[in-house]
């Protein structure tokens, strides 16, 4: 149960900023292949991260790599918002 709670807290840390960026991009009318791809990648990376964290199978360096890749999805959204906004 402790691992599931940690996975949940970790998701909140990354999902809330990502959701805010998605809403900003939507309000600005920004939807590109990069933004769509980043959203899809973010979702599946977070699923992998949660499964690995809860099961205990994703150890160093796999879990940090997945976390960093999902964080980079947020960076891609920021770049697209600045570039097209």
Cα separation, 73 vs 34, in Å, equals 9
Structural domains in the chain (count)? 1
Predicted TM-score of the model (pTM): 0.91
- Name the average pLDDT for the chain: 94
CA dihedral angle for residue 35, residue 39, residue 45, residue 50, rounded to 10 degrees: 150
Look up the domain containing 35 and give its range: 2-84
Average pLDDT value for residue range 43-59: 91
Summarize pLDDT for 17-38 with one digit per residue, the tens.
999 999 999 999 999 999 999 9
pLDDT at 24: 98
């Amino acid at each position: 149960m402790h691992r599931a709670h940690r996975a949940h807290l970790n998701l909140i840390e990354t999902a809330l900023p990502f959701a805010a960026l998605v809403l900003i991009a939507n309000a600005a009318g920004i939807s590109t292949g990069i933004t769509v791809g980043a959203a899809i990648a973010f979702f599946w990376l977070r699923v992998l991260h949660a499964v690995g964290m809860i099961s205990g199978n994703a150890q160093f360096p796999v879990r940090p790599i997945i976390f960093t890749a999902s964080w980079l999805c947020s960076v891609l959204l920021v770049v697209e918002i600045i570039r097209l906004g």
